[in-house]
Amino acid sequence: MEKEEKNNQNLKSESLNDKEKKELKKNNSEDQKNNEQNIDEKDEQKKQSPEEIILELEEKLTRTFAEMENQRRRYEKEKEDAYEYGGFVFAKEALALIDNLERSKDILKNDEKLKNTDALKKTLEHFDIIYKDLISIFNKNNIKPIESINKKLDPNYHQAMMEIEDDSKDPGTIIKEIQKGFLLKDRLLRPSLVGVSKKPSKNEEKNEEIKENSEDK
């Protein structure tokens, strides 16, 4: 029994020694690689002349200064935009005043009971004064309406909501404004919602010809 235990202990110690040897070999090989790498780097540095080293350092400094300058410019631009367009959200929400005013005018105009009455006339006059005042306030704050009627559709400023057959206009000409668009300086607050012209369909053209012929007869 004692012999067996001794043999087992010897085997364990031998296996431990083998593991330690492998780890030592691994560590030695890694150290050797690192040393070789350091030697290569030192050799490269030795190959460079003092002028080349100075030139490399100058290039690094130039790149660093350029990056710092770009960061400074970005910061200045962001600060400038924050000042110029700080009221962008407020301006966008303020457009609801114009929309509500125009909707109220349309409702009153279409009210059969109020049609052709002095009360309607006076109310619409007041609405027009308020509308002009709002536009004046908007202009003072660089909020301007987008011109649309009889203009060519521009996707940067207009959003086409419908096509209307009209032979008197070139296709893509804005002939109806559903909702007015606005700009804050050169930035779009919202696009104009518009209707654009299109050529009449062949059936429409035939119907027009039939009407003209019947009128001539």
Q: In which band, very low, low, confident or very high, does the pLDDT at 198 lie, cut at 50, 70 and 90? A: very high
Q: Are 160 and 175 in contact (CB under 8 A)?
A: no
**Domain residue ranges of the chain, discontinuous segments joined by +:** 51-84, 86-141, 146-217
- HEC letters along 159-211: EEEEEEECCCCCCCEEEEEEECCEEECCEEEECEEEEEEECCCHHHHHHHHHH
Whole-angstrom distance, CA of residue 187 vs CA of residue 172: 24
- For tokens 């330690």, the residue is 20
Q: Are 138 and 181 in contact (CB under 8 A)?
A: no
pLDDT per residue over 85-122, tens digit each? 666 777 777 888 888 888 888 888 888 887 888 888 88
Strand ranges across the sheet with 143-145: 143-145, 182-184, 187-190
Average pLDDT over every residue of 9-32: 55
Instruction: Write out the CATH class of domain 146-217.
Output: mainly beta
Query: Alpha carbon of 58 to those of 44, 52, 62, 97, 210: distances in Å?
Result: 18, 10, 6, 60, 85
pLDDT at 187: 87
Any idea what the Cα angle at residue 158 is, between residues 155 and 163, rounded to 5°?
Answer: 95
Of 5-9, 32-36, 189-193, least confident by mean pLDDT is 5-9
Q: Is the pLDDT of residue 3 over 50?
A: no
Average pLDDT over every residue of 144-168: 93
Q: Bridge-partner residues for 190, per DSSP? A: 182
pLDDT at 39: 54
pLDDT at 12: 47
Q: How many whole angstroms from its chain centre is CA 26?
A: 55
Query: Alpha carbon of 38 to those of 43, 44, 56, 78, 155: distances in Å?
Result: 9, 10, 20, 45, 61
pLDDT at 175: 94
Task: For residue 54, give both structure tokens.
Answer: 């100075």
Q: In which band, very low, low, confident or very high, does the pLDDT at 29 lie, cut at 50, 70 and 90? A: low
pLDDT at 121: 86
Number of neighbours of residue 146 by Cβ within 10 angstroms: 20
| Mean of per-residue pLDDT scores for the chain | 75
C-alpha neighbours within 13 Å on the C-beta side of residue 120: 14
Whole-angstrom distance, CA of residue 173 vs CA of residue 161: 13
pTM, two decimal places: 0.53
pLDDT at 127: 86
